[in-house]
Amino acid sequence: MAAPIPIDAEMLADVALLAALPRAVREEAAALARARPLPRGLRVFDQGERAGRAHALLSGCVRITQSGSDGEEILVRFIGPGEIFGCVPVLTDGLYPADATTMVDSLELSWDPADLLALMERHSQLAINMVAIVGKRLGEAQERLRELATQSAERRVARTLLRLLDQAGRRTGDGVRIDFPLRRKDIADIAGTTLHTVSRFVAGWERQGLLATRHHHVIIRSPDELRVLAEESPG
């Protein structure tokens, strides 16, 4: 067992859940947290498993997927630096509702469920922040639901890329790069279609010079053109 990684309140300033709180609260949270490096490809927790820890990501990227009894799965969301994951079951039935897997080497903080709960009881602002975070995700899920029910696959793929751009876009020489390793299957699992269909559209856009992929990373050269595709009225 390696020596525990020291945690200071500074590290917590980047976690959205705690960002706007008084420093004293962050120190309290820091004292209870455990830091841990996560190698790429690690299954952080499994769907249905009893929630052993509540998590926050400091760096890297975690993929949250949900699968049904039939094995079909969707990609619920990517967790980027500063975001929390696996925290809701602490307050509900105690079972993780999805799988979590690191996509790159990452660093996380985590809390014992009881500690986090106690912390939220002492500091209502913490719980209120959490409602805001979960509420925002609920809104996003409902928007995706509407898109999936009413829009064409092409628009959904375009919107998926735009949304990822928002979440993890980073300017580079010739466009904006999505900072997650992203393969066609991932895009398909978010947009609710197949990797074949995604490939057709993306390859087309790539030919038009609208975007490029290298090393499993997507670089959008022209977000505006993509936005046009995403908004186009019919189907």
Partner DNA sequence: CGAGGAATTTGCGCTGGATCAAACTTCTCC
Partner DNA sequence: GGAGAAGTTTGATCCAGCGCAAATTCCTCG
Q: Of residues 10, 27, 121, 174, which one binds a second copy by CB under 8 A?
A: 121
Closest CA to 40 of 208, 181, 228: 181
The CA dihedral of 151, 76, 177, 183, to the nearest 10 degrees, is -90
Residue 73 makes contact with DNA by CB under 7 A:
no
Strand 106-111 vs strand 54-59: parallel, antiparallel, or unpaired?
antiparallel
233 binds, among a second copy, DNA, none (CB under 5 to 8 A by kind): a second copy
Q: What is the CA radius of gyration of the chain?
A: 19
Least Å distance between CB 189 and DNA?
A: 11
Residue 137 makes contact with a second copy by CB under 8 A:
yes
Q: Of residues 37, 52, 66, 183, which one binds a second copy by CB under 8 A?
A: 66
Residue 151 makes contact with a second copy by CB under 8 A:
yes
Q: Of residues 2, 4, 124, 215, which one binds DNA by CB under 7 A?
A: 215
Q: Which is nearer to a second copy, 155 or 177 (CB)?
A: 155
171 binds, among DNA, a second copy, none (CB under 5 to 8 A by kind): none
CA distance 233 to 210: 20
52 binds, among DNA, a second copy, none (CB under 5 to 8 A by kind): none
CA distance 213 to 208: 13
Half-sphere exposure of 111 (CA within 13 A, CB side): 25
Amino acid, res. 201: F
Residue spans of beta strands (DSSP E) within the chain: 34-38, 43-45, 54-59, 62-67, 73-79, 84-85, 99-102, 106-111, 169-172, 175-178, 211-214, 217-220
Q: Of residues 185, 208, 228, 231, which one binds DNA by CB under 7 A?
A: 185
Q: How many residues can be counted in the chain?
A: 235
Q: Of residues 25, 38, 130, 176, which one binds a second copy by CB under 8 A?
A: 130
Q: Which is nearer to a second copy, 64 or 218 (CB)?
A: 64
Q: Which is nearer to DNA, 66 or 197 (CB)?
A: 197
Half-sphere exposure of 22 (CA within 13 A, CB side): 7
CA distance 162 to 227: 7
Task: Give the binding site for a second copy (CB under 8 A).
Answer: 66-70, 72-74, 76, 88-89, 91-92, 97-98, 117, 120-128, 130-132, 134-139, 141-151, 192-193, 231, 233
Task: Give the binding site for DNA (CB under 7 A).
Answer: 152-154, 183-185, 192-197, 199-200, 202-204, 206, 213-216, 235
